[in-house]
Amino acid sequence: MQDVAIVGVGCTPVGEPWDKSLREIAVDSTWNALDDAGTDEVDGLVVGNMSSGNFIDQESLGSLIADYGGLGNISAFKVEGACGSAGAAFKAGVMAVASGYHDVVCVTGVEKMTDVVGNSATKILANACDREYEAIHGVTFVGLNAMIMKRYMHDYKVTREQISTFPVNSHKNGVKNPNAMFRREISLDTVLNSPMVADPLTVMDCAPICDGAASVILTTRERAREFTDTPVFIKGCSVKVDTIGVHDRATVTSMAATKAAAKDAFAQAKMEPKDIQTAELHDAFSIMGVIGLEDLGFVAAGKGAKFAADGEIAIGGKLPCCTMGGLKARGHPVGATGVYQIVELAKNIRGDGVIDVENGIAQNIGGTGSTVSVAILGRDD
């Protein structure tokens, strides 16, 4: 197996670009990454996307994006794992290069969510959980996360105030990111007093519905320097699954898939949580960020909210998290998010991000923890 490096990154601004279609943002982001790598050729394209068939009545994204991107008769297909689609696509791209099947691969995550109206998007997002035994009861995706949070608060005697420091941190970090959807700070009071979506989650605890595309160019260690002086290496990369339904888990307050993927990725990287300098967590809902800190091994179970409330996730804290706004402020175009995380992490590591670090970890969650990818990136040894 060969070492794999990121030699180009690109993305589109996250938001509601009503004048742009899915193919346009996907092609923009793909070429941003190709330009960044200084090349116009790839032999593989892996697309991360959750639900183009439902959002815009379009499938066959491998062909669509390769076609409109002018990439020719290359290998191209889509990988799906709900909101974790892009993390899964990233792993597929890493495997393609590591195995020697392809030399240069582009991974593009894309989602166009704003062509449908609010309650249609809510229904489509609920396809991430078990349609027959969860969603059919009218339980929304936010609702499932709300029940996880309610139980977490009950079991660990943690307050909403502590958990909801996550969106405050993400918004603060989003200010500096030109590609973030929300570039303004919010206060804890704003989060707590916003309209309730599903108790105890308010609208400001939840990542927005939005559009976006992000891309990375992957190649072998051997060829990396042809493209860049600052390649970022994939030290560990893992995708694991758990039950589709929250109700079938031994516990709802931690994610077995995150723990398994983290264990795998840390073993590949020959690293431990204490070695990690920054984390891009899947803070689609405040509680997910808190549980992510715990499942990745940074703090003990039940201690994540206090760690966040103490300021340790801020830039300058022990473990800066969601440094470019996270899902809450950068935005969460579901099937693109995992690649946005990789783009932001790679920038921080190679020197054109917002913090100076040698390594970092990204966690991308699909469903309520049904599909979780964990990637550890770092500079050359």
Partner 1 sequence: MPSSVPRHWRENIKRYRLLGTKCVSCGTIHYPRRTVCPSCKAREMEEYQFKGSGKIYSYTIIRSPPEGYEFCKPYAAALIELEEGEIITAQLTDCNFDDLEIGLPVESVIRRMFAYGESGIIVYGYKFRPILPRM
- List the catalytic residues: 83, 332
Longest dimension (CA), the chain: 57
Burial tier of 150 (Cβ tally within 10 Å: 0-12, 13-18, 19+): middle
User: What is the smallest separation between the CB atom of 137 and partner 1, expressed in angstroms?
Assistant: 5
Please, which residue, 20 or 151, has the CB nearer to partner 1? 151
Pair 213, 334: CB distance under 8 Å = no
Please, which residue, 243 or 268, has the CB nearer to partner 1? 243
Write out the residues near partner 1 by the rule CB under 8 A. 118-120, 122-123, 126, 130, 132-140, 142-144, 146-148, 150-151, 154, 195-201, 243, 245-248, 252
Q: Which two tokens mark 223?
A: 């060829």
Q: Which two tokens mark 143?
A: 């609702």
Pair 261, 373: CB distance under 8 Å = yes
> How far is CA 117 from each of CA 122, 163, 249, rounded to the nearest angstrom?
9, 29, 32
User: What is the smallest separation between the CB atom of 59 and partner 1, expressed in angstroms?
Assistant: 16
- Nearest to residue 338, comparing CAs of 82, 132, 142, 104? 82
> How far is CA 125 from each of CA 119, 128, 197, 206, 312, rounded to the nearest angstrom?
10, 6, 15, 13, 31
- The three-state secondary structure class of 177 is coil
Please, which residue, 62 or 200, has the CB nearer to partner 1? 200
- The three-state secondary structure class of 17 is coil
Which amino acid appears at position 292 of this protein? G
Please, which residue, 101 or 133, has the CB nearer to partner 1? 133
Please, which residue, 60 or 194, has the CB nearer to partner 1? 194
User: What is the smallest separation between the CB atom of 169 and partner 1, expressed in angstroms?
Assistant: 24
Please, which residue, 137 or 274, has the CB nearer to partner 1? 137
Which residues lie below 8 Å from residue 381, measured CB to CB, with a gap of 6+? none
- Nearest to residue 12, comparing CAs of 170, 181, 219? 181
- Nearest to residue 49, comparing CAs of 8, 84, 6, 96? 84
Please, which residue, 32 or 145, has the CB nearer to partner 1? 145
User: What is the smallest separation between the CB atom of 186 and partner 1, expressed in angstroms?
Assistant: 20
DSSP state, residue 270 = T
- Nearest to residue 247, comparing CAs of 156, 160, 135? 135
Please, which residue, 59 or 356, has the CB nearer to partner 1? 59
Q: Can you spell out the DSSP letters for 76-130?
A: EEEE-BTBTHHHHHHHHHHHHHHTTS-SEEEEEEEE--TTS-HHHHHHHHGGGS-
